[in-house]
């Protein structure tokens, strides 16, 4: 075998498990040139980069980046962050990925793309922070956010001539509603609008919205991507280069990109994304089965339940069902006492990490959501949300049992 053949073979990355660890060969080679062959990509903890000189063909008015060795200032770009962005773009089959300081920073950056008077149709069941952000931006900057339950209502009834984007999560937080990406990407494109999907709950390991026509993927990198409850991060991934360039310039302008050390933490987390998610999902199925037999649990929400309304769409657009479960207890008192009685599972507000966490959405993630929206989404004071980690399943089941029964 010639060297070229070997290189090509190594460059052809097809499987997601490999994509979590390696970039194509030419990218890798550049990486090794810059890092002495370090296996773990180094943290370039620097604010600025030395310039080798001024280019001979420099003309006044040119972007000063043309003077530098590729990097200029970490608000604009940084090798550690760039490496992470390439890896996330690869995992989501996107053209450009931007690593931001949080999921909310990523969503806020995207909102800068729109103008006062533009309409964004948003699904009614969303992460509480997104609902709050949209309410604030709607009121302060005149972007018109129109809520629509995309699992049952037709958004064409509410689309105006300033309709610019449709925004949803699938599965949703916390009710695990499933939204058909292909259907709403087409709906948006037919009207010259963008389709934006928050893919936090499944991560690119289980779902790639861009493959189904979405234009922008949003991630809270705090969750499954970093996976260890130790950093806050967010991502935007886009298909269109021009939109990517626009968002990149906005990111440089507003200054909300991810810091090098945090980028490195996410890089470390992404390496084990596939094994963590396989294990967490395996645990989730066992827990769902146990919860369905639990006398004090009245309903279990998990898109992997065959009789659940979104099951067929999940089978179409996702490769797995994830590790997020919500369930309803028989009384509000039991929901509240369960939170303090769990011993292995931690009562805390986040998700997607190796440790299992339980939350009370109505008082935590969704505390700022108006009561009528909660009612419409069926989010009651008896619903708990469980982010399943990678512990032994029987320990988690025993822990839930003792907490629910005592």
Residues marked active site are found at 75, 127, 198, 223
| Structure token pair of residue 290 | 């146990």
Neighbours of 77 (CB within 10 A): 19
The CB-of-76 to ligand PLP minimum distance in angstroms stands at 22
Cβ-based nearer residue to ligand PLP, 23 or 232 = 232
The CB-of-92 to ligand PLP minimum distance in angstroms stands at 15
Which residues lie below 8 Å from residue 384, measured CB to CB, with a gap of 6+? 326, 327, 328, 329, 335, 338, 339, 358, 359, 360, 361
Cβ-based nearer residue to ligand PLP, 82 or 169 = 169
The CB-of-199 to ligand PLP minimum distance in angstroms stands at 9
Query: What is the rounded distance in angstroms from the CA atom of residue 183 to the CA atom of residue 214?
Result: 10
DSSP per-residue string spanning 56-69: TT--TTS-GGGGSS
* Cα first-last separation, the chain: 66
Cβ-based nearer residue to ligand PLP, 100 or 335 = 100
The alpha carbon dihedral of 237, 243, 248, 250 has a sign of: negative
Cβ-closest residue to ligand PLP?
Answer: 103
Which residues lie below 8 Å from residue 156, measured CB to CB, with a gap of 6+? 187
| Structure token pair of residue 72 | 């200029």
- Contacts with ligand PLP by CB under 6 A lie at 102-104, 127, 129-130, 169, 173, 198, 200, 220, 222-223, 232, 234, 351
Cβ-based nearer residue to ligand PLP, 180 or 198 = 198
Query: What is the rounded distance in angstroms from the CA atom of residue 337 to the CA atom of residue 185?
Result: 42
| Structure token pair of residue 160 | 């105006």
The CB-of-397 to ligand PLP minimum distance in angstroms stands at 24
Which residues lie below 8 Å from residue 370, measured CB to CB, with a gap of 6+? none
The CB-of-259 to ligand PLP minimum distance in angstroms stands at 14
| Structure token pair of residue 158 | 């509410």
Beta carbons of 339 and 404 less than 8 angstroms apart = no
Cβ-based nearer residue to ligand PLP, 214 or 403 = 214
The CB-of-232 to ligand PLP minimum distance in angstroms stands at 5
Cβ-based nearer residue to ligand PLP, 123 or 198 = 198
Cis preceding-peptide flag for 171 (omega within 30 of 0): yes
DSSP per-residue string spanning 124-171: SS--HHHHHHHHHHHHHH--EEEEE-TTTS-GGGT--TTEEEEEEESS
């Amino acid at each position: 075998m010639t060297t070229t053949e070997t290189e090509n073979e190594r460059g052809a990355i097809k499987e997601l498990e490999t994509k979590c660890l390696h970039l194509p060969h030419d990218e890798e080679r550049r990486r090794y040139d810059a890092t002495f062959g370090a296996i773990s990509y180094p943290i370039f903890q620097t604010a600025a980069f030395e310039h080798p000189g001024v280019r001979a063909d420099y003309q006044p008015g040119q972007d000063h980046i043309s003077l530098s060795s590729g990097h200029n200032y970490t608000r604009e770009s940084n090798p550690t962050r760039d490496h992470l962005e390439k890896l996330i773009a690869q995992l989501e089959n996107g053209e450009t990925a931007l690593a931001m300081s949080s999921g909310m920073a990523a969503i806020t950056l995207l909102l800068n793309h729109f103008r006062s008077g533009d309409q964004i149709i948003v699904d009614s069941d969303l992460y509480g922070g997104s609902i709050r952000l949209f309410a604030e931006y709607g009121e302060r900057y005149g972007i018109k956010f129109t809520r629509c339950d995309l699992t049952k209502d037709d958004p064409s009834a509410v689309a105006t001539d300033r309709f610019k984007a449709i925004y949803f999560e699938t599965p949703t937080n916390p009710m695990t509603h499933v939204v058909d990406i292909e259907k709403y990407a087409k709906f948006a494109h037919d009207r010259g609008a963008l389709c934006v999907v928050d893919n936090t709950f499944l991560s690119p390991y289980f779902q790639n919205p861009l493959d189904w026509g979405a234009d922008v993927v949003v991630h809270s990198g705090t969750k499954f991507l970093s996976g260890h409850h130790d950093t806050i991060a967010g991502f935007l991934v886009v298909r269109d280069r021009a939109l990517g360039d626009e968002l990149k310039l906005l990111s440089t302008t507003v200054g909300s990109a991810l810091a090098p050390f945090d980028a490195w933490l996410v890089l470390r987390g992404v390496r084990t994304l596939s094994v963590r998610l396989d294990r967490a999902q395996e645990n989730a199925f066992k827990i769902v089965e146990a919860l369905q037999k639990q006398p004090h649990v009245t309903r279990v929400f998990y898109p992997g339940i065959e009789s659940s309304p979104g099951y067929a769409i999940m089978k179409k657009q996702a490769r797995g069902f994830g590790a997020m479960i919500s369930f309803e207890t028989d009384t509000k008192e039991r929901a509240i006492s369960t939170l303090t009685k769990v011993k292995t599972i931690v009562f805390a507000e986040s998700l997607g990490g190796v440790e299992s966490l339980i939350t009370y959405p109505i008082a935590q993630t969704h505390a700022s959501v108006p009561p009528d929206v909660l009612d419409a989404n069926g989010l009651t004071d008896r619903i708990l949300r469980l982010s399943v980690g990678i512990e032994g399943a029987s320990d988690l089941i025993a822990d839930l049992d003792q907490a629910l029964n005592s």
